[in-house]
Structure 1
Amino acid sequence: METFEHNLASLFSQLGLNNSKEYIDNFLEEHCLEQHEQLTEARFWEPSQQKFLRESYEQDADWCEVIDQLDAMLRK
């Protein structure tokens, strides 16, 4: 059975973004969420990215833990 590691780099790849450490660090520096803003509704996502994030939550997918991690990292 093949296992897949769901980490921040793989989430960025899944979202169609560069998954290098430098890109992720820059992304986190340049983006943030307002106090009551939901990650899935953030203005910086493309519609397909929003759909993936929303569906992952709705389906309680394996991605939820790393998505929650990203959410926390975007709250400054």
Structure 2
Amino acid sequence: MPSKAPTLQALFVQLGLAADELAILRFIRQHRPMPPDVDMLHARFWTPSQAAVLWRLRRRGPHWVEVLDQLEAALRGHRGQQQESA
């Protein structure tokens, strides 16, 4: 049985953060723009345990990497699915 592809919501649950769409948008607004010279996994807003989760998920495979890339693009201010148009 194929497993369900990870989502931003699933990522936020793994990080122990509120995972509804509004909470994700608020998180992105609060932390963007992330400086271009900072690796997302080293951003100051992650707790040590959240950073460890991100590292572990990055090693799990391409599906999680896609989700991490989606979050990183949003945090850097690139237009994406989870960004508001305003």
Would you call these one fold, judging by a TM-score over 0.5?
A: yes
> 1:16: which partner in 2?
16
> 1:48: which partner in 2?
49
> 2:73: which partner in 1?
72
Q: Hey, what's the Cα distance between the residues in 2 that align with 1:54 and 1:64? A: 10
Q: 1:54 Cα deviation (Å)?
A: 1.6
CA RMSD of aligned residues (A): 1.4
TM-score (norm 1): 0.87
Q: Hey, what's the Cα distance between the residues in 2 that align with 1:19 and 1:70? A: 13
Percent identity of paired positions between Structure 1 and Structure 2: 37
Aligned amino acid, residue 20 of structure 1: D
Q: 1:21-59 CA deviation, whole Å, 9 max, x = no partner? A: 1101111110021111001000111111101112222x2
TM-score (norm 2): 0.78
Q: Hey, what's the Cα distance between the residues in 2 that align with 1:14 and 1:5? A: 14
- Name segments (4+ residues, structure 1) moved above 4 Å: none
Runs of at least 5 residues in structure 1 that lack an aligned partner in the other structure: none
